[in-house]
A = this chain, B = another copy of it.
Amino acid sequence: MSINLTILGCHSATPRVNAHPTSQFLDINNRAFLIDCGEGTQVQLRKYKLRFTKIQCIFISHLHGDHFYGLIGLISTFMLHKRSQELHIYGPKGLKEVITLQLKLSKTWINFGLYFHELTSKSTELIYEDEKVEVHTIPLKHRIYTNGFFFKEKEGERKLNMAKIVKQDEIDVCDYRNLQLGKDFKKDDGTILKNEALTLPPIPGKSYAFCSDTMYHEDMVPIIKNCDLLYHETTFLKDKKELAKTTMHSTAFEAGTIAKMADAKKLIIGHFSSRYSNLNDFKQEAQEVFENTELANAGKEFVV
C-alpha cells in the first residue's frame, strides 16, 4: 500500500516557461491517476518519465483553462499511440461536449473506450471504487462548479496473530481466510473466540486530498479529516486577502488553517499567483498555523 504523488504543475492562470498550470500524477496502490490537466501536461509527464500511457482515470476539478486545456491533447496522443486500455474521465458537466466536439472537428475516431463521468452534485459522493481504492468528491467553493478529490486506500485485511492462533488446536489453516476477513471462530463446544483475540488490526489505508481551486471553505474539513496528505491551493498571501475573496481563491494562511482543522499529517501548497517571486513566503505564512507544510514544485514527489 502506497501513495506516490508527482507534481507536474503548480502555478495559477497562464503557463509560462518555468511555471506550469495545475496537474498531478498520482500512483495509488499501483493505479495511475491524473489530477487536472493544464496546457502542456503531456510534455511534463514525458519530462518526468512517468508511465503516462498507464493512466486509467483522469480527474478534472473544474473547467477553467489552467486545469483542463491539456486534456484534449493528451487524449489525442493516446490515440496516436494506439491505446487500447479504457480511459475514464471524471469532471464537471460540459467536459464531454468540448472534448467530443474537438475530436469530431478533426475527424478523429477514438480507438479505445473513452468514458466520461460527468459530475453535477454539490454534495460529496463516491465516484470511483475498486477492491483497493476509492475516490470521493470534495465540493469546493469557486467561481464555477468545482470539486476537489479525496483518494483513499481501503483498509486491508486483518493480520493473523500466530502467537495466539497456535494455542488453539481446533483452528486449522483453512480457517485463516475467515479470520483475515474479520470473522469470529466457533469451537466444537460452541464457545466463540472473538476475532480481535486472534488477529491484529490491518494497516490503515492512506489518503490524499486534492483541493484546488477554492476560497476558504470549512465544509471540506469533515470530508478530508485525518488525511495523510493534503494539497490545498494558495493563490495569494494574506496581503491580498480581499482579492482572494473576490476571485474565490485562498491565502496560504487559510490553507494552513484548513490543514490544522482537518488534522492532516502533511500539507502541500500550490497554485501560486505569478505576482509573487519568493514562494518561500507562502510556506512561512502557512506554517504560522501548520508546521508540516511543503511547497509544490514541478517534478517534486511526495510519498506516503
Contact = CB atoms under 8 A, between A and B. Distances in A.
Given A15-B73, A144-B107, A102 B65 contact: yes
Contact of A97 (B42, B101, B106): B101
Interface string A76-112: 1100100000000000101101100110011100000
Contacts of A63: 102, 105-106
A203 B60 CA distance: 55
A126 interface: no
A43 interface: yes
A70 interface: yes
A51 interface: no
A98 B17 CA distance: 26
A94 B98 contact: no
Given A40-B39, A40-B40, A101-B98, A80 B16 contact: no
A230 B17 CA distance: 29
Interface in A134-162: 143-144
Given A15-B42, A80-B14, A101-B98, A106 B144 contact: yes
Bin chain A's interface residue count: 20 to 34
A80 B11 CA distance: 14
Nearest to A47: B17
A80 B40 contact: no
A95 B106 CA distance: 11
A243 interface: no
A167 B36 CA distance: 76
A290 to B, nearest CB: 30
Interface in A16-60: 16-17, 39-40, 42-43, 46-47
B43 A17 contact: yes
Contacts of A73: 14-15, 39, 65, 69
A261 interface: no
Contacts of A46: 16-17
A248 B270 CA distance: 44
A98 B105 contact: yes
A106 B43 contact: no
A101 to B, nearest CB: 5
Given A14-B73, A40-B40, A69-B76, 10 more contacts: A13-B77, A14-B42, A15-B42, A15-B73, A17-B43, A17-B47, A39-B73, A69-B102, A97-B101, A98-B98
Q: Which 3 A-B pairs have the closest CB atoms?
A: A14-B77, A63-B105, A94-B105
